[in-house]
Amino acid sequence: MQRRKFIKRATLASMASLLGTEIVFGDTLAAGYLPLGLQEPDPFKMFNKDAQMVLLNDKPWNMEAQAHLLDDKITPNKFMFIRNNGNIPKEIDAENWTITFDGESVAREKTFTLKELKSNFKPYTYQLTLECGGNGRSEFDPPAKGNQWTIGAVSCATWTGVRLRDVLADVGIKDDAVYIAYHASDTHLSNDPSKEPISRGVPISKAMQDETLIAYQMNGTAIPIAHGYPLRLIAGGFPASASGKWVNRISIRNIIHDGPKMTGTAYRVPCEPIAPGEKIADEDMCIIESMPVKSLITYPKTGAVLQKGKSLNIRGHAWAGELKVREVAYSIDFGSTWKNCQLEQPANRLAWQHFNASIDFPQEGYYEVWAKATDENGIAQPMILPGWNPKGYLNNACHRIAIKIN
């Protein structure tokens, strides 16, 4: 009978140090065994994400889709990007969850339970586009620091909740109110309880829009934990960082909010164009509000091979922050000529719009299909990278896929 080998004492001590406590019965552990507490979690299973999603970071969790995964008109959870700044709350008691309204410009501080929000205010449901301000960051040169998003940090789910403006009307806001700021129960990566990982917000005018929600459902069910369960702010059309998760407090400010990720270069771009790599003072940076016009080809997947003589049917989505998309066009000659796609109207304001087209190719060979959207003000996507900025925000260059005709 083979003798069982046990973990060495030095190894056991190292494991206990990493766990922060003694491993009871550790002397019985077989050699080579790694305690569950030290095993890396599987985010795809933990967050119910498709295996084709791309993990960018685990501290904090950040994950994006690939273009072909975003083909659904309404983005399901399994294909929705995750952008976190801190640790996901470990203990959530939805039954006793509260949200407090306070700040210099609140008429009267007031706290609501989740149940009171649902019973005291009328629910609304909208399809709302959320895109990370850094989506497309990986293409900037010189490189910009941060998660190297490609094209998949965008989604358009159905959100249900109460209008923020209805709650603000109930608590009352003073005439000097200029901004609202969210606070949440996620924790700083340092585990310092005095630090907030992120606390951003929106101008009062945005807070008062019909579609700005305090949401408690996504796609008809409770919001998944990675996306803000049980309560989050949704401000479609602005960078997704303005839509705080796990929200438990909203402050009405008489100044532009100055919380974490609101100052310096965070979610800001140069007010005037600068040269790539140029240094810029914080006071010359402007807060990102409405996201720029953009489009994404979601079918077929890049690299598709088509038989000569057959038409290719493409489809995708286009969005333009606070604005509607006026048209989407495609090119197969590297932007030399463009033809219009069929473009659907949005389901509601701030929802993305779906487009499609049938394309014929003149001969065998390699092609690229480019898509270019134009917003209602006549502003079109650039064919190449837009102006460089220190944090790699707002890359809305034309999306393109590779096609081979045999």
* Residue 356, domain CATH: 2.60.40.650
pLDDT of residue 4: 60
Q: Is residue 345 part of a domain?
A: yes
> Would you list the DSSP string of 261-313?
TSSTTTTEEESS---TT----GGGEEE--SPPPEEEEEES-TTEEE-TT--EE
Q: In what order do the strands lie in the sheet with 54-58?
A: 54-58, 61-64, 82-83
Identify whether residues 346 and 310 lie together within a single domain: yes
* Residue 259, domain CATH: 3.90.420.10
| Phi, psi dihedrals of residue 213, rounded to the nearest 5° | -115, 150
The CA-CA-CA angle for residues 207, 240, 57, to 5°, reads 150
pTM of the model: 0.90
DSSP type of residue 10: H
pLDDT of residue 14: 75
The CA distance from 180 to 186, in Å, is 19
Q: Is residue 33 part of a domain?
A: yes
Q: Is residue 47 part of a domain?
A: no
One-letter amino acid of 165: R
Identify whether residues 18 and 97 lie together within a single domain: no
| Phi, psi dihedrals of residue 10, rounded to the nearest 5° | -65, -40
Distance of CA 193 to the CA centre of its chain: 25
Q: Is residue 2 part of a domain?
A: no
In terms of C-beta density within 10 A (0-12 exposed, 13-18 middle, 19 or more buried), how is residue 387 classed?
Answer: middle
Collapsing DSSP states into helix, strand and coil, what is residue 179?
strand
Instruction: Using alpha carbons, list the distances in angstroms from residue 329 to 118, 221, 303, 357, 378.
Output: 43, 36, 20, 9, 13
Q: Is residue 346 part of a domain?
A: yes
The CA distance from 226 to 22, in Å, is 31
| Phi, psi dihedrals of residue 171, rounded to the nearest 5° | -80, -25
Q: pLDDT tens digit string along 35-46?
A: 777 666 788 988
CB 86 within 8 A of CB 188: yes
Q: pLDDT tens digit string along 318-368?
A: 999 999 999 999 999 999 999 999 999 999 999 999 999 999 999 999 999
pLDDT of residue 40: 63
Identify whether residues 32 and 165 lie together within a single domain: no
Instruction: Using alpha carbons, list the distances in angstroms from residue 295 to 177, 207, 402.
Output: 35, 26, 16
Q: Is residue 186 part of a domain?
A: yes
Collapsing DSSP states into helix, strand and coil, what is residue 365?
strand
pLDDT of residue 91: 85
Domain boundary among 287, 312, 331: 287
DSSP type of residue 4: P
Match 């209008």 to its residue by tokens.
163
Identify whether residues 235 and 363 lie together within a single domain: no
Taking the CA atoms of residue 225, residue 218, residue 68 and residue 392 in that order, the dihedral angle to the nearest 10 degrees is -70
Q: Is residue 43 part of a domain?
A: no
Tell me the pLDDT of the chain averaged across its residues. 94
Identify whether residues 259 and 329 lie together within a single domain: no
Identify whether residues 227 and 298 lie together within a single domain: no
Identify whether residues 223 and 268 lie together within a single domain: yes
pLDDT of residue 1: 39
The pLDDT of residue 131 is above 50: yes
Q: Is residue 137 part of a domain?
A: yes
Q: Which helix (H) or strand (E) holds 13?
A: helix 9-19
Q: Which two tokens stand for residue 363?
A: 């001969």
- Of 61, 99, 111, the C-alpha closest to 82 is 61
The pLDDT of residue 251 is above 80: yes
The CA distance from 167 to 169, in Å, is 5
Identify whether residues 310 and 234 lie together within a single domain: no
Identify whether residues 144 and 263 lie together within a single domain: yes
Identify whether residues 277 and 303 lie together within a single domain: no
Domain boundary among 287, 302, 321: 287
The CA distance from 45 to 26, in Å, is 28
Does residue 300 have a cis peptide bond before it, meaning omega lies within 30 degrees of 0?
yes
Identify whether residues 205 and 246 lie together within a single domain: yes
pLDDT of residue 35: 76
Report residue 178's pLDDT band, with 50, 70 and 90 as the boundaries: very high
| Number of domains composing the chain | 3
Mean pLDDT lowest among 11-15, 81-85, 121-125, 227-231 = 11-15
Identify whether residues 117 and 215 lie together within a single domain: yes
Portion of the chain with pLDDT greater than 70, in percent: 97
Q: Which two tokens stand for residue 162?
A: 């109460």
CB 350 within 8 A of CB 128: yes
3-state percent breakdown (helix, strand, coil) of the chain, nearest 5: 15, 35, 50
The CA-CA-CA angle for residues 258, 81, 372, to 5°, reads 95
Query: Domain containing 17: what range?
Result: 9-38
Domain boundary among 265, 287, 309: 287
The CA distance from 204 to 216, in Å, is 21
Residues 6 or more apart whose CB falls under 8 angstroms from that of 266 comprise 260, 391
Q: pLDDT tens digit string along 273-326?
A: 999 999 999 999 999 999 999 999 999 999 999 999 999 999 999 999 999 999
Distance of CA 84 to the CA centre of its chain: 9
Greater model confidence, 400 or 384 = 400
